[in-house]
Structure 1
């Protein structure tokens, strides 16, 4: 069996369990950030869970690298998102495209159209990115001197304004970490918004063009 088939087989077997593990990681992180009065035993359990899951993601990355047959620098370049989510495991739920492909291959059902897949992926990615970013910003900003983000609701509002590139400015991060996270969400918001609007516009153009082709010629 060649490297490509070994890699594909590994992805087929692990993509769904790892996606569920990434949601568990996100849930444990959310509990740590939001449940301020949580007993220390539960807080420690959340921390150990996150460390264990991160080690699992790192092990999966190493296995994929070895199965790819590529050198590490090339593997990092050709699997950029995979490399990013090892460093920032909160972003691992964004690997929805491989998950969708694995589910479709297992169920052997007709795939969604390209436009529908792009819109669905971008929309779900925006929700997951927004939630993870809100948690991270809130963790950095709460209690910081001069911060206008005092509640998780403020953080959600800041994230919505950032991802949509509206930028009302009524709430904004003041810490270095919060601003770095907000900058990353700005870039992510631009990319996801561009994907949705571009795909939707293309779908409209194809729909109108199809309608024009099917219309009988005027006498």
Structure 2
């Protein structure tokens, strides 16, 4: 008969490994592409935001997650509880690590306008041009603060004064974009918590089976309930 507790643990453990692989792939790809020269405004805004993300921490966390998954394999191959307890402690540490990354991203949403202002003034005119064209705005707070870049969207001071500054549309774009990312990260924390619970259940199940086996052996019954 299939051990349902063990089967649930295996399923969640597989999801846990998938989570680590996804985080590793995302972090590596973004880190290798976010410094490329953008060709349009939304791409520029997205890549500039990516540069503020804790991508290196994401890579470290993903590798840690995959290493924990490897630790769970000997825990599954033996009825002993030592490896499983060790894996449980590591999963707790991983959940805290992932939560910190999610909180770091969430904090960015609380100061998106400030973050974009620092980004804006550090960009060359070509990038500011892309952002102004994409979001139909001139300057950052307004056309004079910081001053707009002359382009097709903002051809003159008079025309630029009629358009809003880029801070509002950029902040709106950034909040929506980062919300999706940190929500996904918090979802990964949920997987960590589910695996912690599955680990606790499996430990309890193994302890009970060990107790029943001991009782059977005391009664003279041979064999194992595992």
Please indicate, yes or no, whether the TM-score normalized by the shorter chain is above 0.5: no
Smaller-chain TM-score bracket: 0.3 to 0.5
Report the TM-score when normalising by structure 1.
0.39
Report the TM-score when normalising by structure 2.
0.38
The structure showing larger relative contact order (alpha-carbon pairs under 8 Å, at least 6 residues apart) is: 2
Higher gyration radius (CA): 2
